[in-house]
Each structure stands twice: as C-alpha cells, then as structure tokens.
C-alpha cells in the first residue's frame, strides 16, 4: 500500500501480520474520514472551500474597489463627425475638420466604495451562513460515511462468521460421515445412511465455497469505502459479538437527534440563509450610496503631464425595472418556504428513524438471546442423537435432522448478532452520534 504523509496516521492503526494488515472497526472509520480516505468526504471538504470562496466574493461588494490605469495614445479626431463646426468671419481662416495626430499620456488611480447598500450586506450575511451550512453538510457526509463503513465492516464480520460456521459445519459433516461408515462396517448401519451423510457433507462444502466468495465481495466493498487499494490484504480484528447498549428513552433519543444531527443543523442553516437572501431582495428597493474618487496625471507625454483629480458621491434610487425585483422577491420567498418545509420534513424523518432504530434494537436484542439458546439446544440434540445412533437405538435420519437444525441455529445466531449490531449503527446514525454506538 502506497503511503503518503497524510496517510502516516493510518499506518499507526495497522499492524503487519503475515503480509496482511490488521484492521479494527474504529480504525476503518478513521481511515475513511482521513484527508485521502473516502471520495465523498473529500468532495464535501471541497464544497466547504467553494462556499468560503463565494462568501469572499459577496464580501468584496462591501470593500473598496481600487484600480489603476496607465496609457499612452496617439490620436486623430474628425471634428466634423463630432459636430464641431465653426464659421468665423475672418478672411483666410478656416476651422479644421480634423485634428491630430497628437499624443495623450494618462496615469490614474481610481477607487469606489459602497457606503450604504443594505442588499449587499444581507447577501454577505447569507453567504456566511452558507459557509456554516457547508461545514454542517461536510460533517453530515462524515457521519454518513462512518455509518456506511461501519455497516460494511459488520457485513465483512458477518461473512467471516458465516465462513467460520460453514467450516464447523463441514467438520461436523465429515465426522458424521465417518461415523456412518464405521457403523456400516460394524454391521449397525446401512449403505443409504453413508450416502445420506456424504450428501450432507457435499452440501456443507458447497455452502462453504459460496460463503467464501461472499466474504471476498464484502472485503472489497469495505476496502473501497475506506479508500484502500482493492488488492490490499486485511485481517479484521473485531469479531461479531454482543455488547449491551445503555438504556435510552424515546424522548432522550429524539432530543439528541434534533440537537446533534448534522443534516438537521445544515437544513436549519440553509433555511436561515434563504431568509437572508429574501431580505436582501426586498432591501434592493432602498436607495444605495457609493463614493468614488480618482487621481492621476494627464498630458501629451510623461514630461508634460499635470495632476488631475475627481471625487464625489453617487446616490442610486431604484424606480422601475420592468418588474424584475418583484419577480425575484417572489422566487426567493418560494425558496424560503421550500427550505422551511424541508426542515420540518427532515425533523419528522429523524423522529421516524429514531423510533425504528429503537424498535429494531430491542427486537434484535431478544433475537440474540433466543438464538444463543437455540444453538445450545441444537448442540444438545445432536449430541444425544449421535449417542443414540452409536448405540444402535436410532438411525441416521435422527442425526441428520439434528445436524441440519444445528447448522440453522448457528446461522440464526450469526444473523441475529449482525442485526443487533446493525441496529446499534442505525440508532447512532439516527441520533447523530455514530461513533458513540460503534460496536
């Protein structure tokens, strides 16, 4: 893996082990959120920089505009074309129709400054809010990315657990196939029982092959999300496990969501910026005052130039622009209403997500407990069936049935653990505190 200076911190999270890197869930999330990590996170940071640049452009309308010119011209002018005609009653004199060529040198500095422009002030205030909104959007992108990485890591954990379970099932099927062959050799079993055991073994091996392929796909998805090369070899250090969540009431979860979620914060800031934009359009009806000044030297050449200057105030009073301001005000008012509607809808969506996450967490917590009991009972059933089969008081159908139920119970336990940890991530995402609820 190519290491740059920005990635140096990542390397501290990884340990080499047999040519592979050890990767925990939290380190995977930190890698995705690093400067050279997930592409969405990088794009969100660039959006913040763009918002800052737009704010600087809006601020420029409130600052002095200073410019300078330096010119040297050689001119001719047709006075008749300009309407300059004189008929003087002087014998032998005729006023020229054109003049030149002549030289003009001009070096000048000019400055303009808006003294009073309420609309520009409101637009600058709106742009500052837009920067804060972009930062909140970037934070929200980070939260979403953390949730995606956590889910991808859980999917990879689940794939590992299923492969491990499938390997245990293959070992069990091999042991039962040997048991059936031994029983047949002792005269206590039938050929069909050996065939049945071999069929179960073949099914277990086929399932193991399929699950290994699923594990490879899950690893690739995880590597893509955290910004690592797809040919990187990693070892997941965190296994799929159960860790209880601190009890939380619905009101506490809803208050945390409304106060912590970055997307809600960004939408509120977007609505506030729309309010300022609407105010800026309304204030365009007011007069604006600007000052201007210039100073320089003008003459036929540098050595024959004389200083000149000018300054003054300009008062601009809007009268009628064909209804353009009214149309823009109606448009900005509609945009403001849209942002307020989106803000209310987003808060309702957050409340829905919190409720669903709490329900899913409670349900999956019970599923984990039931699945653990199911595995224990299935293991006891299989042990009893094997003893009965070895004692000659039962046939292999009883063992095969117990074997199938144990395989299903093991798979149910893995799925229950995956559902429980996914519900933890969903709850953290709904509350705007993903890192707090990482398994």
Q: Is 174 exposed, middle or buried (0-12, 13-18, 19+ CB in 10 A)?
A: middle
Res. 411: pLDDT tops 60: yes
The verdict on residue 88 lying in a domain is no
Residue 90 placed within a domain: no
CATH number of the domain within which 233 lies: 1.20.1600.10
- Angle in degrees, 0-180, between the axes of helices 396-431 and 250-260, rounded to the nearest 10: 50
CA dist 388 and 384 (Å) reads 6
**Residue 378: pLDDT band with limits 50, 70, 90:** very high
Q: Which domain holds residue 156?
A: 5-78+97-437
Query: Average pLDDT of 143-168?
Result: 92
Lowest pLDDT segment from 160-174, 330-344, 391-405: 391-405
Say how far residue 388 (Cα) sits from the centre of its chain. 59
**Cβ-based burial of 329 (10 A; exposed 0-12, middle 13-18, buried ≥19):** middle
83: in domain: no
Reported as a single tens digit per residue, the pLDDT across 279-299 is: 999 998 899 999 999 999 999
Phi-psi region of 100 (alpha: psi -120 to 50; beta: other; left: phi over 0): left
204 touches 170 (CB < 8 A): yes
Q: What is the pLDDT of residues 67-89, one digit of tens each?
A: 999 999 998 988 778 777 767 67
Q: Is the pTM of this model over 0.85?
A: no
d(CA 6, CA 162): 36
Question: Vertex 58, ends 53 and 62: CA angle to 5°?
Answer: 130
Number of domains in the chain: 1
Predicted pLDDT of residue 88: 66
State the Cα–Cα distance between residues 220 and 233, nearest whole angstrom: 10
Q: Per the domain annotation, does 136 fall within a domain?
A: yes
Indicate the SS3 state at residue 407.
helix
Q: Above pLDDT 90, what percent of the chain?
A: 56
Is residue 89 included in any domain, yes or no? no
Task: Assign 19 a pLDDT band (cuts: 50, 70, 90).
Answer: low
How far apart are the C-alpha atoms of 95 and 92, rounded to whole Å? 10
């Amino acid at each position: 893996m190519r290491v740059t200076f920005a990635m140096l911190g990542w390397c501290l999270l990884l340990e080499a082990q047999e040519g592979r890197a050890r990767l925990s869930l939290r380190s995977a999330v930190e890698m995705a959120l690093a400067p050279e990590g997930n592409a969405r996170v990088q794009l969100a940071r660039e959006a913040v920089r763009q918002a800052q640049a737009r704010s600087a452009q809006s601020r420029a309308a409130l600052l002095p505009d200073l410019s300078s010119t330096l010119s040297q011209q050689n001119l001719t002018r047709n006075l008749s074309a300009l309407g300059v005609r004189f008929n003087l009653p002087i014998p032998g004199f005729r006023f020229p129709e054109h003049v030149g060529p002549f030289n003009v040198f001009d070096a000048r500095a000019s400055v303009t400054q808006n003294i009073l422009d309420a609309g520009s002030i409101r637009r600058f205030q709106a742009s500052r809010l837009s920067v804060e909104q972009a930062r909140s959007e970037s934070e929200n992108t980070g939260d979403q990315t953390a949730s995606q990485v956590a889910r991808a890591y859980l999917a990879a954990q689940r794939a590992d657990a299923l492969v491990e379970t499938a390997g245990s099932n293959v070992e069990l099927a091999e042991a039962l196939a040997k048991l059936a062959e031994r029983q047949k050799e002792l005269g206590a079993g039938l050929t069909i029982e050996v065939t049945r055991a071999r069929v179960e073994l073949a099914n277990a091996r086929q399932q193991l092959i399929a699950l290994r392929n699923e594990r490879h796909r899950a690893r690739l998805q995880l590597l893509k999300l955290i910004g690592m090369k797809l040919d990187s070899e990693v070892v997941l250090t965190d296994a799929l496990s159960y860790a209880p969540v601190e009890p939380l009431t619905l009101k506490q979860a809803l208050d945390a969501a409304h106060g912590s979620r970055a997307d809600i914060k960004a939408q509120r800031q977007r609505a506030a910026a729309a309010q300022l934009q609407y105010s800026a359009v309304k204030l365009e009806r007011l007069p604006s005052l600007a000052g201007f000044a210039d100073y320089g030297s003008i003459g036929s050449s540098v050595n024959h130039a004389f200083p000149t200057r000018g300054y003054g105030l300009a008062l601009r009073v809007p009268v009628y622009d064909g209804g353009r301001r009214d149309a823009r005000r109606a448009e900005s008012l509609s945009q403001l209403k849209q942002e307020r509607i989106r803000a209310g809808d987003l808060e309702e969506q957050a409340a829905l997500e919190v409720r669903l996450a709490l329900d899913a967490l409670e349900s999956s917590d019970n599923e984990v407990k039931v699945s653990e009991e199911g595995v224990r009972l299935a293991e006891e059933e299989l042990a009893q069936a094997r003893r009965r089969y070895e004692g000659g008081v039962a046939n292999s159908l009883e063992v095969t049935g117990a074997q199938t139920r144990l395989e299903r119970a093991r798979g149910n336990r893995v799925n229950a653990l995956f559902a429980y940890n996914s519900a933890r991530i969903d709850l953290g995402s709904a509350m705007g505190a993903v890192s707090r609820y990482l398994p």
